[in-house]
Structure 1
Amino acid sequence: MEKTLRLDLPLLLPDTPDAHGACAQRLAESLETREGVSIAHVRNTESGGGMELCIHYDPALLSLERVREVAKAFGAEITSQFGHLVWQVEGIPDQRRARAVSAQLRSLPGVVEAEANAKGPLRIEFDRRQTDENTLRNALQNMRLSLVQDESRPHEPTGEAHDHEHGGIFGAQTELIFVALCGALLLIGWLLPKFVATPPWAPLFVLVPAYFFGGYYALREAIDSVRTGRFEIDFLMLVAAAGAAALGEWAEGALLLLLFSLGHALEGYAMGRAKRAIEALGALAPKTATVRRDAKVEEIAVDALRVGDIVLVKPNERLAADGFVIKGESSVNQAPITGESVPVDKSPVGDATVAAEKPDLVDAENRVFAGTINGGSALEIQVTRTSADSTLARVVKMVNEAETNQSPTQRLTDRFERIFVPAVLVLAVALLFAGFVVDEPFSDTFYRAMAVLVAASPCALAIATPSAVLSGVARAARGGVLIKGGAPLENLGRLTAIAFDKTGTLTEGKPKLVDVVTADDVAEEELLRVAVGVEMLSDHPLAAAVVRGGRERLGDTPAAESLNLRSITGRGVVADVEGETTYIGKDDLFAEIGGPAIPPSLKIQIEALEANGRTTMVVRQGDRYLGVIGLMDTPREAAPAVIETLRTIGIRRMIMISGDNQQVADAVARAVGLDEARGDLMPDDKVETIKKLRAEAKVAMVGD
C-alpha cells in the first residue's frame, strides 16, 4: 500500500527563495526517477506557513528513512550546483530596459534563468560550476545597474535607508532635466534664425547639444539592446534622428528625440513613484521582533522568524508576524490589512496546539496580522507564517504584480515593434543598394533611404500610446483619481461593474458618535456627562469618538469628574464617577459583572442599533442604567450622489466589499444606495471576490 512522506521544502532547498521555482521542480523530478517513488510534488503546508515536498512511495521498495535520506541527498546536490539571487537594483526605469537586462543576463555562461522587473527585484538562477556571485555582480555593474539590497542575504545588517535612484549627475531627476535642456536648446535653435541674421550653420551650435541631451538615454538603451541582438524602438528612433541630420534637417531630428525622451522620462518617473508606493506598503511591518526562545528573550530580524516562534508585542507596537494570541488581551488596529475602521479586540486562543495545526480555522478574535498596530496592552503571539508568506507580504506581491501589467494596447505595440523595427532597417539598407539596380547617383539613393527612415520614424509608435495614457491619467488626477498605468485606464472605458472598499472610500474612515439612547427617566445630558467623563481617561479610538461627539452635544456643560479608570479588555472600562462605580462597555459585560440586568426596553434599542451597523456601548452608574451610545463610521456626504452618477453613465452593478462585519457592511451599503455588500473579508478574500466578479462582468476595484 502506497504511503506519503511530507518534508519541509526550505530544509531540503535552504537557498531557494521561490518554492515554485525550477529547483523545486528538479528535486521532484529527480525523486520520481527513483524506483519506489510514484509521485513527488510541491504544495502548501496545512498550516499555510510555507511549502512542503510531498512524496508518494511504495514501502515494500523503500523504507521511510531511505526516502528521507534520498530526498536530502538530492536536495543537497541541487543546492550545491544551483545558486539563487534576489537583488534589489536601481537603473531599470521601465519594462523595455528590464527585458534588455534579462536578455543580457541569460546570455552569460552559467545563468539558467534571469528575470528583471522595473518595479520588483531582480531574480537570477545560476549554475555554480560555470559562474559565481561576484561575476554576476560585475556583470550588473557593466550594465550600469547599482545593487541596493541583496535579499538572498536577509540577515545581514543594512545601513540607513536612503534614495538610491541615482539617474545621473542630477540624481533621480537627471533624465527629466536632460529633456528640459533638449527642449530649451531646440527652441533656441528654431527661434535663432527668425530673429537674428545668422549663417545657416549657426543653429547647429545649439541643435547638436540638443541631440546629446535628447538621445543620451535612448543611446544607452539601444546599445544594451543591440548587444543582445535585439533591435528595439530606441535604436530605430536614433537611426531616424541620424537620418534627419544626414538630410540637413537637424531641428526635425532633435524634435524626434525630444518627444521620445519626454515619453521615456515620464514613464520612468511614474515607475519610480509606483515603486516607492509599494516600498511604503512593505514598510508597514517592523524590521525586528522580540521573541522568546529557550526561556530567553531576544530581539531578532523579522526575516529570521520561524513558524511556532513566540513573539512579545508591546503596547502601541506594530505586530511583526501573522499568528494567534496565546497570552494577553488588547485591541488591535487592523485597518492597514483588513480596512476595518474600528480596532478589533483580541484575546488568547483556547487551545494553542490545535490552532498551530490549523491556523486558518482560528477565530478572528484570536488571529493577528503583521503590520497591524497593537493597542494599550501587551500580547504574546505564536507565529503561523514567516515574514515572506505573511498576509502583508502577499498583499505587496499582489500590488506589485498588478502594477507591472501592461495595457492591451501597450502589449500590441510591443509585439508590432518587434516586427516593425527590423523591417524598416532592412528596407533602408535595401534602398542604399538600389543604385546597383537602378542607374542613379549614390547621393540620390542615400537621400531616399534616409527619407524612408525619417518618414518611418516611430513617433506614433513610441509616443502615441504613452501620450494618450498620460493625458487620461492627468485628467483623472485633476478629478482626484490616481490611475497607475495604461491597463486600468483602458479598462475604465469598458466597465460594467465597480466594487468599492468601505473604510475611507465610501465612509469617512473613523468612528463617530451617531446615536444616544437614554433609559427611562434619564436625560441625555446626564448620560453624556458620565460617558465623556469616563472615556476622557482612555486612549482607545472608540473612547476618543465618544469624547469628541459628546463634547459637541454637551456644549459648555462640563463632563462628570472621573477617577481610577480600569480596562476590561475586549469588553469595556470601569471608573469611579462622582463616588459611584460606573461601567461602559458591550452588553455582554453586564452579565459577567453581576447586578441588575439590562432593561428589556434598552435591550430592544441595542439590537436595533446593531442591526443598523452601530457599535454599541451601554452605560451603567452604580446599579442604574443610563442608556446606550451608538458609534459608526459614517458614510461620506458625496457618496450617494456619486453612486447615482455612476448608474446614469452605464455602470450596471455596484458592490461594496469590506473587512467589517456583515451588519456594518449592509448598513453602510443602504446609506449610500448600494444594493449589494459583502463583509468579513480579508485581503485575499477581496481578491477572490474580485476574480469571481470578473467572470461575470468587467469590474473595477475602488479603494484599498
Structure 2
Amino acid sequence: MTSLNTATDTPGRTDPAAVSQIDLGIGGMTCASCVSRVEKTLKKQAGVSEATVNLATESARITLAGAHDAETLARLKRAVRDAGYEPRTTDAMDDTTPARWMGVPVDFWPVLLGLLLSAPLVLPMVGDLFGKHWMLPAAIQFVLATPVQFVLGARFYKAGWHALKALTGNMELLVAIGTTAGWALSTWLWWRAEPGEMVHLYYEASAVVITLVLLGKWLEARAKRQTTSAIRALHALRPERAHLLPDGVRRIELTDVPVDELLPGDIIRVLPGERFAADGEVLLGHTQANESMLTGEAMPVAKQPGDFVTGGALNGEGAVEVRVRAIGAQSVLAQIIALVQDAQAAKAPVQRLVDQVAAVFVPVVLVIALVTLGGWLYLGAPVEEALLHAVAVLVIACPCALGLATPTAIMAGTGVAAQHGILIKDVQALEIAHRVDTVAFDKTGTLTVGHPRLQVIEAAAGVDELAVLQAASALQAQSAHPLARAVLDAAAARGLAVAPDAAQDVQAVAGRGGWGTVQGARLALGSLRWMDELAAPLGPLAERAQALQNEGATVSVLAAQNEAGGWAPLALLAFADEAKPGAAAALAGLRAQGMRLFMVSGDNRGAALAMAKKLGLRAEDGEVIAEVLPGDKAAVVHWLRQGGKGEFRAGPPQAESAPPRGAATGAAAERGGHHTVAMVGDGVNDAPALAAADVGLAMSHSQGGSSDVAMHAAGITLMRGDPMLVAAALDISRRTVSKIRQNLFWAFAYNTAGIPLAALGYLSPVLAGAAMALSSVSVVSNALLLKRWKPPVTELTTGTHKAGG
C-alpha cells in the first residue's frame, strides 16, 4: 500500500504531531517539465505544505500540515491522474523487474515493434549509400508509419494533450507536435502528388524518431533500475522466516514463523549460514556475523552472549540463540532503508535551478521552432524543408536529460555510500559536504575506543578503597555513561555485587556527574570542575589529582556531604581511554587534504592533550578544545565557522585575545572568515553540535548503533565507529556533486548546441531523435559510474591519502 509516515522529530523542524507525509508513486513522467507540473498540481491541493517529485524514482513525497486520512490520499491520487499521470502504490514502485512475454520483457515490446515497422522505412536511406534505389511505394510507407505514429506513439498524444489543457508543456508535447508534423507533411505530399509520381516522403523521420525515443526511454528505465539496486539489496537481506523457540523454551523442534510475526522478547535460533531475522542480543552460543552490507566492514565480527546482533547480518559457523530486541520500523535495517530512501526521494538544492529552467523551457522551444519555420520560409526554402528543420528543433530539445541529471547521481551516490556503511539522510548535507574545510571531532567514542578503564583509585586517609568502589558502583548502576560502565566493570572484576536499588534519589547532572544516597550517606561523583562548584576542597588529594591529569587521565572525585551541608572528598577515580586503531592515520589523511582539524572534549586539558599527542593533533595550533560542557559544543561549532581564533569561551562572543592556553595560533588562526564545518560525534550530548554544524556525521557504536538522537540530528550516519569513514563520506560527496555538475553540463550542452544546429538545418529529425535519446542514456550511465566508487585508502605507515574508486 501507499507509504504513510509521520515526520521525525529533528532539531529545527516542525513538530511531528502537526506534520504528516505521504510517499506516492507516479507513472508517466518523462522529463523535468513533468516534474514541475506534478509538483505544482500537488502543491495546489488543500492541506499540502510541500511536494517534492523525483523523476528517477518516479515518486512524490508530499508533506501535509496536519494528519491525513483515506480521503486526502484519494484526492491527491485524483489530482495526479487529472494532470495526466498515473498514481501508483509503493509496492508497485518496488516491483522493478518487468514481466516477460515470449521471452521478451513486456516493456520492450513497443520498442521491438517500432524497430520492425521502422526498419523497412529506413532501408531506402541505407540503399542510397550504395547507389541503390529501394524506395517503397507511398501506400506501404503509410501503412508502416501510421501504427508507429498513432498506436506506439499514443502515449505522447495523451500526455501532450494533458499538458496543453494545463497550459504547460512537456517532452511528449514536443515529440507529438514534431512527429505529427512530419507524418502530416508526408501524407499531404502523397495526397497532392500526381498518379505515378515519385515524391520524397518523410514517414521514416517520424517513425524512427518515435522508435528512438521509446528505445531511449527503455534504456533509461533499465539504467534507472540499477540506481535503486542498493535499496533492493538491503530489502533482500531480511529473511522471510525465523526459527522461533516457543515460550522461550529451548527444544529441538522449532517453529518457523514469518519474520513479521516476531515480537520483542521472543527467542529465536539462527543456524550457521542463515541471516539474523531481527535485531537482538545473543543469549547462547558463539559465532561470527558478517555485517558488510550494513556497515561496509568486510571482516566478520565475533559474537558471544551479551553481544548485539543486527537483523540482516549473515551468521557464521555457529548456531546461536537470540532474544529479539527490535522489530519492524525500529530495527537497524529498516532505519537504514528509510534513511537511504529519504535521501533518494529528496531534492538537492541545485535541482531548483533545473526546476526554474524547466518551467519556461518547453514554451521557449515552441517559440524557437516557430521562428525556425518562419525563418526558413522567409529565406525561400520549400515548406517541407522548413517544416523538417522545425521538427528537428522540437525533437532535440526534449528536456529528458535535464530532469534526470541530479536525481540519478544522488541515487547512485547514496546507494553506493550505504553499501560501504555511510548513510546519507540529508541530501543538502551531501551537497554541502564537498565544501567542508574544517572537521571537529568529539573525543570519547569517536576518536577513542569509548570504553575507558578505571585505572587508579586514590582514597583519602582512612577511607577503604573497596568501600569507595562499592559506593561509586551503586551511584553508577543505572547510568549508560562510559565512565559509569568503567566503574561497574572494575567492581565486577573485584567480585563486588551491586544491587540495582543500592542507591536512592540518584540524579544525573549534565556535564558534571551525579549524586544520590548510599546507605544513608549523600554522595556525589563527578568532575573536578563540579567539585569546585560544590566547594569541595581536595586538600591532600589535589597534588595527586594534578599528577594524574598530567598523565592524561580523566579524574573524577567521590565526595560525601557532611551535616553542615558541605562536601568532603573521599577518593579520586582516574580513568583512561585508548585511541581507536587507525584514528591517527585518518586524521593525517584529512590533514593531507588541507582540512582544519579540531578535537572537542569535555575532559580536563591534561587528558585531552595526552590523547591529542597520540592522535597527532597539534595543540600548539589550537586543535585541542578541552573542558567543553555538552551544552557548549554547538557554540564551539559556531566559533569554528567564524575562524576559530583565540581561545574558545562559552557565552557571548568576546574580543579576540591571544591567551597562552588553547589559543588558535599559526595557520589555523590566520585564516579568518566563514568556514564550512563538519562535526563528528556519537552520543546524545553531541546532537546539538551535529545539528549546528554545516554537516553533521553521527558515528555508530560497535554495539547497537549510534544514538537515535545523534542520528536524527546528523545529516550523515557512519555505520562503523571508524574515523576513516569521515574521509570516505566527504569523498563520496565530492564525487556525487561532481557527477551532478557533469550531468547538468551535458544536459544543457545537448540542448544549447543541438537546438541551434537543428534550427540551422545541420540536424535531421532522425539525428535529432538519436541525439535526444543518447543524452538521457548518457546522463544516467554517467551517474552509474558512481557505483564503482570505493572508500579512499589511507596508508597507516606514511599517512598519505589515496583516492578510491
TM-score (norm 1): 0.45
Structure ranking higher on relative contact order (CA contacts 8 Å, 6+ apart):
2
TM-score (norm 2): 0.40
